[in-house]
Amino acid sequence: MEEQTLSKSDLAIDGMTCAACANRIQRRLGKLDAVSDAQVNFATGRATVVHDGSVDDLLLAGEVAALGYSVIDKDEGDDAEDRREADLLKRLIFGVALAVPAMLISMVPSLRFDNWEWLVAVLATPVILWSGWGFHRAAWMNLRHGSTTMDTLVSLGSLSALLWSVVVLVGGVGDGHVYFETGAVIVTLILLGKWFELRAKRRSGDAIRALADLGARTARLEDGREVALEDLVVGMRFVVRPGEKIATDGVVVDGHSAVDASMVSGEPVPVEVGPGDEVIGATINANGSLVVAATKVGADTALAQIIRLVDQAQGSRAEVQRLADKVSAVFVPVAIVTALITLLAWLLLGNDPGDSFTASVAVLIIACPCALGLATPLGIMVGTGRGAQLGVIIKGGEVLEDSRSIDAVVVDKTGTITEGKMSLELILDAGLASEDRDRVHQLAASVEALSEHPIAQAIAQSIHVHLDVEDFENIPGSGVTARFGDSKIRVGRRSLFDLVSNEVEELAASAEADGATAVFAGRNGNAELVFVVSDQLKSTSAAAIAALHDQGLTVTLLTGDNRRTAEAVAAKVAIGSVDGDAVIAEVYPDDKAAVIRRLQEQGKRVAMVGDGINDAPALAQADLGIAVGTGTDVAIEASDLTIVSGDLRAVADAIALSRRTLSTIKGNLFWAFAYNAAAIPLAAFGVLNPMIAAAAMGMSSLFVVSNSLRLRSFAGYRKAGS
């Protein structure tokens, strides 16, 4: 059966006022036959819909519009928010101007005069009806579709205060006490809270907007012409002068300089570059002049991919959000029923109708679950945004939860612990004649020239003239073989040879004890030479392992290299200094995923860090896959977390940030639940009046927002150690 190809639509939605709105849109879109998954995020105002392609964005927009919301062009998102903020501020100022004198007259006896209630009615009514129009409109639209949201509670509370007061004032019902100022102050306080909330939410998206603004607008070609960035094509060579941004991803073809990549990779120290080195668009050329050949443009650049990944992550939903969604879905109806029970109970107990009404309105206002709806999406939004600024790309809310349970980190050696730039240090032999030594050297280099492996290239570059060999064969994880005349040349591991003399073995062992890699070479199954190839440790690797240990994680070094070399490298970075650390060596590329699986079968929750194509299966198998961004696109696609830089300390930053973000989300949810759980009984028993309830409701939302924004101060291990 042919597998169905799924399409994805990304919609920007305007008009959502709370998490219940997002849940309602999500349910509506999810019921469509063509839709396999729909996720709507209140904090980002985005909907991601996965479908079979038989529906288009226009049809989906129609479904959203049927609920009373609108789909806008993504590029208009900021403009829509600007308009919403301006309208909110206008209604807030109007509310403050009229509600404050209404409250003062009502609550300060010395300011009262004959028939003062009529003036308060004149002041308060426009506030309740016009300033609070957004709440009433949303409540009516929801009621038409048989649902309730936070707006329903605010509308019911304020209109109840208005209608009760009109009945008392005109009809002389009750003890004559009116609540015009209560309705006006409720609307004004909630508008104030929503205005603060909107401004804070926009701050939470600053990171992604800052990333989008990083790129250069133009590029200066070698011939002096200046072209717009969108006119740049792969292969074009452009000049980058000191202090300028690099226009797009490319390779340096001329010049030397230091490049400040901190805004993209989080690296605190500029990186020296020269001919042949890759550079990332939007990074800053610090001193020398460079000529760069463009290798990626537009949506293919590293910056564009980072923005896309972060944008997707900010629209994701963590598992903990499901509980909040379930609670929010039933909270409003329960609150309305609780308010009615409160009113009836107070009346049945013989309390004054005015006091009974006040208690029931307080329940309506205090029950608004807006803080609950913001708790998770805002935490994800700020956490992933801060990660992007540090060069840590978190792919979604699920990753945050996976990071919490990780107790073991498996680290690849080459390109992760080490630089991944192999160099030939020595050529050792056990007493070969000079001409035989030179001959084997030339043959081995000629064979290695046909391989793309970094070690092979280091050996191949030691000879300028290569011989033509035949029957080349690459044996994954073991080495290469070829034929030259009557001789079969082998270059690789011990296992590739039929005979390795004790003398040659001792030479290899000595090199491996120093952390170098010993590569055997010889003719007709006899190991005759030992190439000593070294790969320098990254200067930050030891600090990175210490940071992982600091988080209570055990570290396993996983490599295809021999055990002696692996253990020497592990010792240099203190892998093995903590109980549970391990070195797993001589692992073939295809077996890395099996190693991860065995560790998982032992009850460990494993994070895998790698950078190569042969790491992709292990990254996918791991509970948390972490790709070093300097590696391949295949590895990055298979991972859950990507670190843009090659600094292994960024791995510790990634795990620490993920854990802190999840902790922040849980803190948000706890206080949002605790607030409602504690406040509703207080309101029902008359301890909280409606105005205090409105202020407390706004404060709960502000707490969630400000608590999430604290993630913007996360610094990480690199800043501390730089």
Annotated catalytic sites, by residue? 412
Sign of CA dihedral 587, 591, 594, 596: positive
How far CA 645 is from CA of 168, 265, 327, 383, 461, in Å, comes to 69, 5, 41, 18, 28
CA distance 129 to 194: 17
Q: Which residue has tokens 């320098």?
A: 536
Q: Two tokens at 100?
A: 């404050």
Exposed (0-12), middle (13-18) or buried (19+): which is 483, by Cβ within 10 Å? middle
Helix (H, G, I), strand (E, B) or coil at 490: strand
Residue 90: count of CB within 10 angstroms of its CB: 11
Amino acid identity of residue 128, one-letter, is I
103, 181 Cβ separation under 8 angstroms: yes
Q: Which residue has tokens 């913007």?
A: 712
- For 396-426, letters b (16+ CB in 10 Å) and e give bbebbebbeebebbbbbbbbbbbbbebebee
Q: Which residues pair with residue 8 across a beta bridge?
A: 50
Q: Which residues pair with residue 626 across a beta bridge?
A: 609, 641
Comparing CA positions, the residue from 185, 196, 210 lying closest to residue 85 is 196
CA distance 303 to 211: 8
CA distance 454 to 414: 10
List alpha helices for 573-648, DSSP H.
Answer: 592-601, 616-621, 633-638
- CA 420 to chain CA centroid, nearest Å: 27
Comparing CA positions, the residue from 369, 360, 364, 362 lying closest to residue 335 is 364
Which H/E stretch holds residue 377?
A: helix 370-389
- Counts for the chain of helices (H) and strands (E), in that order: 25, 26
Q: Two tokens at 567?
A: 């253990």
Q: Who contacts 341 (Cβ-Cβ below 8 Å, separation ≥6)?
A: none
